[in-house]
Amino acid sequence: MNKFGSTPLQARANFPFFTAILIIAVIFGIIVLAGIIYKIYQQYTKSEKYINKQKNRPTNKKDLLKLQKFFNITKEDTEFLFYLSKLIDSNNIYYILKDINSIHDFFRECYNSLIHLDDSDKKINNMFKLSYKLENHIAEYKKILSTKQIPVSAVVFYITKEGEKLPFYCAVNNSDFFSVEIPEFFYSKKDKPRNLEKANFIFKPHNGLSYSFSSRVIRYNTDAENKYYMIIAHTENLNVELQRHYKRETIDCDALFTPIKITKTDDKPIITTSKYYTGKMMNISGGGCCIKTNLPIKEKQNIGIKIPFFEFEKPLFGIIKKTRRLPDGNFAIHIQFLKYSLKEQNKILAFVYKFAL
């Protein structure tokens, strides 16, 4: 036995135990150090310096995979996005396509480049359809959950019992209620919603969605400037209304229409009369339109439409899907387009997206 109270044999026996302790301590230290480094890196990836660096570099394959997963789009859509980004020489599209305004600006630039290419109608059409997919995804991702989020000065549509949409402007929005400014004629109407009666509304923010909701009208007010207001209770029961297959835009222009017959053999539209009736275009999309007229045209009627505003050489052909009476006695006829070229549809879509015609 040595002076330390252990024999050389005992010391050798204790050696593996101390070695194991040392190894565990080193591994633990490495894990802690790795955790610290990872935390520092995570903080760095959230910094403005890192984000700006990523934004300003070209799009790579990893960015495309993240885009495909985020938007839940096909591989073909993702590859087309990459083609568009190369066409306009854009920076990293994974960071660009994160809000409605950025998506709109990106596709406007793409459109301005595509229109100068030969035989680009198909690509432009695919671009509009892809833009609609991305905008709807972003809108759904950032959807509004309460009427408390309606900004002051935003348009809130009151839906009459006849289905007409009356635009009112949000004047006040606080934690207890929101109010909309209403015109004098509506304030004087006997059939306007009574106090504490539920009414139907639609709110269309800039995120691309429409929200329908029902809420109680608390009361009506006037102010010193003889302005009239409807005071409305808040609600969180907002129903998202995605716009069919195409983005829709209001329009105020003349429209001419005539009955047509479509043959069963070759599905070819035949104009049965040279007489065209005059109406007013109320809204339009890449898939259809709504025309205001004084004629009670039946549903499921095939129809030819001339729209002088777009300067099409031939009329568009469609079918009336719905006819409804308006409060002023006229009729709104909702038309689904059946026959049009890609060039014609692209021109309508360019108007809807507010791109140069």
Q: Residue 179 in contact with residue 221, Cβ under 8 Å? A: yes
According to DSSP, the residues that pair with 159 across neighbouring strands are 165, 200
Position of tokens 């069919």?
244
Interatomic CA distance for residues 5 and 177, integer angstroms: 84
Q: How many residues does the chain have?
A: 357
* pLDDT attached to residue 344: 94
Which pLDDT tens digit goes with each residue over 48-101? 777 788 888 899 989 999 999 999 999 999 999 999 999 999 999 998 888 788
Q: How confident is the model at residue 39 (pLDDT cuts 50, 70, 90)?
A: confident
According to DSSP, the residues that pair with 167 across neighbouring strands are 157
Instruction: State the average pLDDT for the chain.
Output: 86
Q: Residue 302 in contact with residue 262, Cβ under 8 Å? A: yes
pLDDT above 70 as % of the chain: 89
Greatest Cα pair distance in the chain: 123
* pLDDT attached to residue 18: 73
Interatomic CA distance for residues 37 and 22, integer angstroms: 22
Which pLDDT tens digit goes with each residue over 91-142? 999 988 887 888 899 999 999 999 999 889 999 999 999 998 898 888 777 7
Average pLDDT over residues 304-326: 91
Interatomic CA distance for residues 357 and 104, integer angstroms: 16
* pLDDT attached to residue 348: 95
Q: How confident is the model at residue 181 (pLDDT cuts 50, 70, 90)?
A: very high
* pLDDT attached to residue 7: 58
User: pLDDT higher for 280 or 274?
Assistant: 280
Host H or E run for residue 129? helix 121-141
Enter the tokens of residue 228: 């009239």
* pLDDT attached to residue 243: 58
